[in-house]
Amino acid sequence: MLNQEQPEIPKPLDQLTPEEITRKACIGKLMTHTLKNLTDTYINKGFQWLLPVVLSQSTDPLWPDPHLSIEKRIEFEIYGKPVRTTTSMIMHKLAATSTVYPKLFILSPNIRIEKAERAKTGRHIYEFTQLDFEMVNASSKDVFTLVEEALITLIKNLKQDLKPELTTLGRLNDLKVPNTPFKIYDRTDLETKYGVDNWEADLINDLKEPAWITNIPRQFYDFEDFKTGRWDNYDLLLPQFGEVLSGSKRENDYQKIIKKIERDQVKKENYMRIIEMAKDGRLKPTAGAGIGIERLVGWIAGVKHIAECQPFPRAPGNVNEL
Ligand code: AMP
Ligand code: MG
C-alpha cells in the first residue's frame, strides 16, 4: 500500500530483544485501553455486546470489494454440513439487528488468508479483529457522528492516561485529537483528481486528519441507489496510514438483493436466511461498520507493521508455532 520501505515481519514473543519487549508492552497497553475505551463508549450509547462465532454456513463473500486479495477460503464439513471460517459477521449483524438486538457490537475475529505478498503492506494480517457494529433505522450520518465521537474520546483519553507509553513509542506529540466533523470525499471526485488506480495512496499522503470516502462499488449488502448508481457506503481513512473502517447503510429490499447477488455471481444458497428475511419484509433498514482494531492501534502506536499489535503475529505468508 503506502509504506515506502518494506516493513520487517514482527517476531514471535520468545524472539524479542529487551528493547522490543518494552515496545511490545507499550503497544499492549494501548490495545487494552483502546478496547476498554471503545467498548465503554458503545455500551454507554446503548449498544449490546454480542460474542462472536467462527464457524457458519454463511459468511461475508468479500466480493466484489476493490481491496480483495484472498489466497484461500477455508471451508469444511461438520455434522454433514459445510461451514466456513468467519470473514466478517455482516450476515449475523443483519439478522441480529433485525430481530433481538437493535444496536449491537461484536469484537469479531476475522480469518482472511491474504496473499503472502501482502505482508509487505504492513496493513494486512490473516487473522484480525473488527469492532463490528450495527444499528437499526440509522443513516450513514449517524455512523459518522458515532465513530467520530468514539475516536476523539479514545485519543483524548489515551493522550491523558498513557503518556509514558506514547512517549516511548514517539507518538505523544504526533498523535493529535482530530477536528470534527471529518471531511467527506466522494470516490468519483478522488478518481478524477488522483486517477482511478492511485487515489487512495495519494490521498492518504495528503491527509492531515481522518477522512470519510463514500460511494464505493462493492458487496451486495451495501446500499446502492439503482436510479443514480450511487452507493451509500463509506471507508474511514487515517492520514499516512490508510483504511481503518468500512461500512454502509444496508440493502434490505428483496428484489435488489437478489439482483445484486446474481450480478456478482455470489452463491445464493449461502445467503438464504438473509434473502428469506428480506422476502418476508423482516430485514430492517440498518447501518453500521467494522473498525479494524489492529489497524487502529497500529496507527495510534505508529507501527510499521500492524502484526506488531498482535501478541501472536499473523503476517501473511508467515506461520509461527504460536
Ligand atoms: P472490510 O469490511 O473488508 O473493509 O473490513 C473491515 C475493516 O477490517 C477494514 O476497514 C480494516 O480496518 C480491517 N481489515 C480488513 N482486512 C484486514 C486485514 N487483512 N488485516 C487487518 N485488518 C483488516
Ligand atoms: Mg474495506
CB 94 within 8 A of CB 250: yes
pLDDT in the model for residue 3? 46
Q: Determine the pLDDT at residue 5.
A: 76
Neighbours of 104 (CB within 10 A): 23
**Closest by alpha carbon to 138, among 296, 247, 293?**
247
Work out the burial of residue 75: count CB atoms within 10 Å of its CB; fewer than 13 is exposed, 13-18 middle, 19 or more buried: exposed
Whether residue 220 contacts residue 65, with contact meaning beta carbons closer than 8 Å, is answered with no
CA distances from 113 to 117, 119, 242, 247 (A): 11, 11, 20, 21
Q: How many residues does the chain have?
A: 322
Q: With bands split at pLDDT 50, 70 and 90, how would you rate the model's confidence at 4?
A: low
% residues pLDDT > 70 (the chain): 99
pLDDT in tens, 170-221: 999 999 999 999 999 999 999 999 999 999 999 999 999 999 999 999 999 9
Burial string for 18-37 (b: 16+ CB within 10 Å, else e) reads: eeeeebbebbbbbbebbeeb
The bound ligand whose nearest atom lies closest to the alpha carbon of 294 is: 1
Q: Whose CA is nearest to atom 19 of ligand 1?
A: 124
Average pLDDT of every residue of the chain: 97
Spatial distance between the Cα atoms of 236 and 100, rounded to a whole number of angstroms: 28
Ligand 2 (single-atom ion) residues, CB below 5 Å: 246
Question: Using a 6 Å cutoff on CB, does residue 140 contact ligand 1?
Answer: no
**Closest atom of ligand 1 relative to the 112 alpha carbon:** 19
Q: What is the pLDDT of residues 250-263, one digit of tens each?
A: 999 999 999 999 99
Q: Which spans in 70-139 are helix H?
A: 90-99
Write down the pLDDT at residue 1.
Answer: 45
Q: Which residue shows C-alpha cell 479494524? A: 292
Distances (CA, A) of 83 to 86, 125, 173, 268, 271: 9, 22, 47, 15, 13
For the stretch 235-291, pLDDT in tens is: 999 999 999 999 999 999 999 999 999 999 999 999 999 999 999 999 999 999 999
Residue pLDDT, tens place only, 292-308? 999 999 999 999 999 99
pTM for this structure? 0.98
Contact 313, 27 (CB under 8 A): no
Ligand 1 pocket, mutate which of 134, 204, 245 (most atoms under 8 A from CB): 245
Residue 145 pLDDT > 70, yes or no?
yes
61-104 residue pLDDT tens:
999 998 999 999 999 999 999 999 999 999 999 999 999 999 99
Atom index in ligand 1 nearest the CA of residue 235 equals 10
Average pLDDT over residues 48-59: 98
Residue of 258, 260, 204 whose CA lies nearest to 235: 204
Residue 136 has pLDDT above 60, yes or no: yes
Q: If you measure from the C-alpha of residue 267 to the centroid of ligand 2, how many angstroms do you get, rounded to a whole number? A: 21
Angstrom distances, CA of residue 155 to CA of 34, 158, 161: 9, 5, 10
For 24-44, write each residue's pLDDT tens digit: 999 999 999 999 999 999 999
Report, as an integer, the average pLDDT of 224-241.
98
Reading the block at residue 11, the C-alpha cell is 517476531
